[in-house]
């Protein structure tokens, strides 16, 4: 990956020198080995800090939302999941393709910094497999970028642990009452910090229903009913839009299995309206299934 880091730095510096970009979004190294963090570089000196390594796990596409109203030209690095998120932002008209210079990198799967930190501090047991691979990468269907201007690294095979929908299948086997109790208990832990919303590239509405005060759709207090309302609404808004980047679950401070909800919707959208996986290709003007209507759409649930 050192070679890829060097190439990313060279490209970013050249783009700044040629005045083709105003900003470059990638990663830089923190103090410890597992502390790789996003970097918004604004000049050649910043670009010299860019790295790409096994902890470059963050989905950088969400950072583009900070610049959606500006005219800056932006260079950005994209793994498979980042690139699918960029497609979603383009489809949602949150960004213009001509403002982006995308450096795609085939992703071999990233390590989980929290697991590494747990190992480093000895404060928390690491996952049973102990190999440090992030949960979100174990069943990645698209490790290679789907949209790019330059491509680095070798193409990677999709990860297939065979467990992609295992948790969903177990949930589907429960009775309605069992499922309700499961979600009631699971979601009662939510502290409504909204970290899962903030990191999500598909959650890009300018005015979010959960911030509205007039009318106030969801109470501010931390009650299980309001928590369930939040998760029901967020999950339904993700239907046909979630790119399975896993950042919401990774960001959750109380370990709520958010991918369970997202993957249930991915599975159902695929079954009812598919075959479909969000953000797999960019076709100008194309819309995701739940943003378009066809007379033959199934409607027996109405
Ligand atoms: S989800 Fe896929 S593309 Fe994204 S970091 Fe993991 S392996 Fe890489
Ligand atoms: S990140 Fe976790 S605790 Fe915070 S709102 Fe989302 S589910 Fe709730
Ligand atoms: S809902 Fe979670 S997995 Fe899906 S796009 Fe948003 S952050 Fe990524």
Whether 84 is in the pocket of ligand 1, judged by its Cβ within 6 Å, is: no
Measured between alpha carbons, how far is 96 from 94 in angstroms, rounded to an integer?
7
Which residue positions in the chain have pLDDT lower than 50?
A: 128
Query: In angstroms, what is the span from residue 137 Cα to ligand 1's centroid?
Result: 5
**Ligand 3 atom closest to the CA of 203, numbered from 1:** 6
- Please name the residue whose Cα sits nearest to atom 1 of ligand 2: 252
Indicate which ligand has the atom closest to the C-alpha of 110: 1
Residue nearest (by alpha carbon) to ligand 1 atom 7: 109
**Protein residues whose CB sits closer than 6 Å to any atom of ligand 3:** 199-202, 238, 242-248, 262
The bound ligand whose nearest atom lies closest to the alpha carbon of 241 is 3
Closest listed ligand to the CA of 246: 3
**222 ligand 2 Cβ < 6 A:** no
Ligand 2 in reach of 192 Cβ (< 6 A): yes
- The pLDDT score that the predictor gives to residue 129 is 53
Asked whether 25 and 40 are in contact (CB, 8 A), the reply is: yes
Q: Output the CA 176–ligand 1 centroid distance in Å.
A: 33
Q: At what angle do helices 258-273 and 224-238 cross, to 10 degrees?
A: 40
End-to-end CA distance of the chain: 51
Q: Which of 233, 254, 262 to mutate to test the pocket of ligand 2 (most atoms within 8 A of CB)?
A: 254
Instruction: Give the number of the ligand closest to the Cα of residue 141.
Output: 1
């Amino acid at each position: 990956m050192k070679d890829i880091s060097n190439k990313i730095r060279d490209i970013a510096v050249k783009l700044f020198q040629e005045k083709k970009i105003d900003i470059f979004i990638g990663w830089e190294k923190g103090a410890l080995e597992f502390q790789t963090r996003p970097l918004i570089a604004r000049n050649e000196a910043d670009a010299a800090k860019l790295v790409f390594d096994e902890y470059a796990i963050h989905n950088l596409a969400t950072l583009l939302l900070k610049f959606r109203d500006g005219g800056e030209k932006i260079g950005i690095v994209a793994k498979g999941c980042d690139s699918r998120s960029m497609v979603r932002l383009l489809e949602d008209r949150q960004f213009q393709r001509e403002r982006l210079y995308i450096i795609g990198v085939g992703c071999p799967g990233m390590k989980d910094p929290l697991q590494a930190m747990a190992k480093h501090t000895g404060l928390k047991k690491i996952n049973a497999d102990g190999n440090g691979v992030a949960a979100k990468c174990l069943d990645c269907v698209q490790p290679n970028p789907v949209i790019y201007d330059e491509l680095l690294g070798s193409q990677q095979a999709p990860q297939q642990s065979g467990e992609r929908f295992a948790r969903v299948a177990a949930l589907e086997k429960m009775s309605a009452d069992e499922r309700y109790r499961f979600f009631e208990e699971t979601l009662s832990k939510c502290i409504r910090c909204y970290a899962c919303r903030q990191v999500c590239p598909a959650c890009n509405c300018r005015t979010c229903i959960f911030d509205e005060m007039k009318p106030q759709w969801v109470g501010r207090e931390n009650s299980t009913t309001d928590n369930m309302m939040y998760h029901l609404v967020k999950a339904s808004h993700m239907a046909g839009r979630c790119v399975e980047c896993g950042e919401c679950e990774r960001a959750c401070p109380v370990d709520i299995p958010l991918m369970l909800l997202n993957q249930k919707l991915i599975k159902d959208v695929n079954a009812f309206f598919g075959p479909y996986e969000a953000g797999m290709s960019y076709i100008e003007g194309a819309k995701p299934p739940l943003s378009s209507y066809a007379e033959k759409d199934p409607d027996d649930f109405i």
